[in-house]
Amino acid sequence: MRANEMAGHALPPAVYAAGLASLPRVGPSWLRSVIASHGPRRAWQLAVEGHLAPPSQPPREQRPPTPSLGEAARAVDLEALWNRLERNDIAVTWPDEALYPKVLLERPSPPGVLFMSGDPSVFARQPCVALIGTRRCTPDGAAVAYQMARELAEAGVAVVSGLALGIDGAAHSGALAAAAGLRTGPTIGVSASGVDVVYPRQHAALWRQIVRSGAIISETPPGVAAQAWRFPSRNRVIAALSQMVVVVECHARGGSWHTVDAALRSGVEVGAVPGPVRSSASVGTNTLLYEGAAPVRSADDVLVSLGHPGPGAPASATAGNLCSLAGTGPEQGTGLRSGGRRANVAGGRAAGRAPERPKGACDRAPELQAKALGRLELQVLASLGWRPLCLEEIAERSGLPLGPVILSLENLEQYGVIEGTRGWWARK
């Protein structure tokens, strides 16, 4: 093997680390320990010579016979791997290395080798917040994720997410929108495939933008497609990178729960955006809230929770910040799903939360009066909520015939109080 012959020659240590990560069935703890005790280059040589103990495995009879670690290592084409890293500008990092995000080492099961594409400095600078959620989201959920990500990014927070369709994509896009406005705030994508393997394909453009103004990281070696088992593992990294995990929308089951579980294990605060109780896409988040997750209505709530002086945070909220930080210990978090319902609400967070004025239609009440809404318009507005309703429902709720309802909706939309998408109307 050429890689073997070249083993004595100078290849950068990163290539050896990448080679080790490419071996089959090696986990983060094995990678960490072999790199820590031998360094990447020596560890690779030992692996090729067959002197390295393979990761501990379940008893033989449960697994089909596999080639030994040495054989697998000899089959790896290190030079091709090196070319791939160079060509796609992929950085490789491991716990002792300078680029490695140190926050990961404070969490359970840090990645042994991490691949990075984009600007590695993003990890050093900012508090990170994960905005995650379902792929099957509502338009409303996507809009919330987008706006929240944008506002967080403008406040200097790095938005972490999983590059998936739905909420994840909306969160990345929102953060990028802030970055495009030069209000700082890059975004970090954690992928389950190799950092040069775009998945899902619909996100190819988004992927490029993130690499340009943020970073994409992955534990998966370059060129390797995402397999099902890598997604929960990816979610663990999302949780570990973040100071807070905010679930925007999730169903009763789904990948978001892996991230929430990982966050709870790491002592990372979990927040959830409340949603309509009859919306299937909000069942998960509402369950989280019921079990004591921090309610998140806007980016401000996240900033207050982080104790981060965001542009939108009112000055009077400082006291609330301290209290809320005091309430975010790991012991409180872990009680969330397994412990008693709402047990941790008794903590300082709920009591100390600074009273904030909710933003929305109430805020605009004087404004609306100035526009002199008619009786019918007010009647229609009163029947509208934040859950999107269709025309017939509005007519039924307001008790008006179709004609006046349609006219009022048009006027209300003109005033910017309500919003209609594809025939579903809701307050803005």
Partner 1 sequence: MLATVASATLVGVEGQAVSVEVHVANGLPGLRVVGLPDASCREARDRVRAALMSSGFKWPQKRVTVNLAPSGLRKAGSGLDLAIALGTLIADGQAPWQPAARLSFIAELGLDGSLRPVTGTLPLAAAVATAEVVVAPASAHEATLVGRVGVRTAPDLRTLIGILEGRDRWPQPPPRGSYPPGPPPPDLAEVKGQVLGRQALEVAAAGGHHLLLVGPAGAGKTMLALRLPGLLPPLQPEEALEVARVHSAAGLQVGISGLSPRPPFRAPHHSASAVALVGGGGARLRPGEISCAHRGVLFLDELAEFPGAVLDNLRQPLEEGRIVVCRATATVSFPARFMLVGAMNACRCGADGSPGSCSCPEVSRARYTARVSGPLLDRFDLRVRVRRPEVEDLLGAGGPAEATNEPTHVVAARVAMARDMARARAVRANADLETSALERHATLGPAAKRILERRLTDGRLSARGLGRIRRVALTIADLAGDEVPLGEEHVLLALALRATGVLGREDQVPAAATFGKSGEGLAQVPA
Our CB check for partner 1 shows the closer of 55 and 276 to be 276
Q: Is 165 in the site for partner 1 (CB under 8 A)?
A: yes
| Residues in contact with partner 1, shown as a per-residue x/- string from 381 to 420 under the rule CB under 8 A | -------x-xxxx-xx--x--xx--xx--x----------
Only segment of 36-44, 274-282, 356-364, 378-386 that touches partner 1 (CB under 8 A): 274-282
Number of shown-chain residues binding partner 1 (CB under 8 A):
32
Q: Which residue of 60, 357, 375, 422 would you call a contact of partner 1, by CB under 8 A?
A: 422
Question: Least distance from C-beta 276 to partner 1, angstroms?
Answer: 8
Our CB check for partner 1 shows the closer of 167 and 239 to be 167
Q: Which residue of 281, 288, 296, 304 would you call a contact of partner 1, by CB under 8 A?
A: 281
Angstrom distances, CA of residue 415 to CA of 91, 370, 387, 418:
51, 11, 19, 8
The whole-angstrom separation of Cα 149 and Cα 160 is: 9
Our CB check for partner 1 shows the closer of 326 and 407 to be 407
Q: Is 375 in the site for partner 1 (CB under 8 A)?
A: no
Question: Least distance from C-beta 16 to partner 1, angstroms?
Answer: 40
| Nearest in space to 201 (alpha carbons), one of 229, 234, 165, 166 | 165
Q: Is 347 in the site for partner 1 (CB under 8 A)?
A: no
User: Which parts of 76-105 interact with partner 1 (CB under 8 A)?
Assistant: none
Q: Is 119 in the site for partner 1 (CB under 8 A)?
A: no
Q: Is 141 in the site for partner 1 (CB under 8 A)?
A: yes
Only segment of 25-33, 89-97, 98-106, 275-283 that touches partner 1 (CB under 8 A): 275-283
The whole-angstrom separation of Cα 143 and Cα 410 is: 22
| Nearest in space to 132 (alpha carbons), one of 246, 264, 300, 302 | 246
| Nearest in space to 16 (alpha carbons), one of 6, 27, 1, 28 | 6
Q: Is 274 in the site for partner 1 (CB under 8 A)?
A: no
Q: Is 204 in the site for partner 1 (CB under 8 A)?
A: no
CB count, 10 Å around CB of 264?
Answer: 22
| Residues in contact with partner 1, shown as a per-residue x/- string from 243 to 262 under the rule CB under 8 A | ------x-x-----------
Q: Which residue of 58, 64, 340, 423 would you call a contact of partner 1, by CB under 8 A?
A: 423
Tally of CA atoms within 13 A in the half-sphere of 424 that contains its CB: 10
Q: Residue 114: phi, psi to the nearest 5?
A: -125, 130
Residue 257: both structure tokens together: 């729960």
Question: Least distance from C-beta 162 to partner 1, angstroms?
Answer: 17
CB 360 within 8 A of CB 144: no
| Nearest in space to 158 (alpha carbons), one of 273, 231, 244 | 244
Only segment of 58-66, 130-138, 176-184, 312-320 that touches partner 1 (CB under 8 A): 130-138
Q: Is 135 in the site for partner 1 (CB under 8 A)?
A: yes
Q: Which residue of 126, 138, 298, 328 would you call a contact of partner 1, by CB under 8 A?
A: 138
Our CB check for partner 1 shows the closer of 259 and 282 to be 282
CB 117 within 8 A of CB 215: yes
Only segment of 119-127, 169-177, 273-281, 349-357 that touches partner 1 (CB under 8 A): 273-281
Q: Which residue of 20, 73, 137, 167 would you call a contact of partner 1, by CB under 8 A?
A: 137
Our CB check for partner 1 shows the closer of 15 and 395 to be 395
The whole-angstrom separation of Cα 184 and Cα 176 is: 9
Q: Is 280 in the site for partner 1 (CB under 8 A)?
A: yes
Tokens 């207050």, located at residue: 304
Site residues, partner 1 (CB under 8 A): 135-141, 165, 249, 251, 276, 279-282, 388, 390-393, 395-396, 399, 402-403, 406-407, 410, 421-424
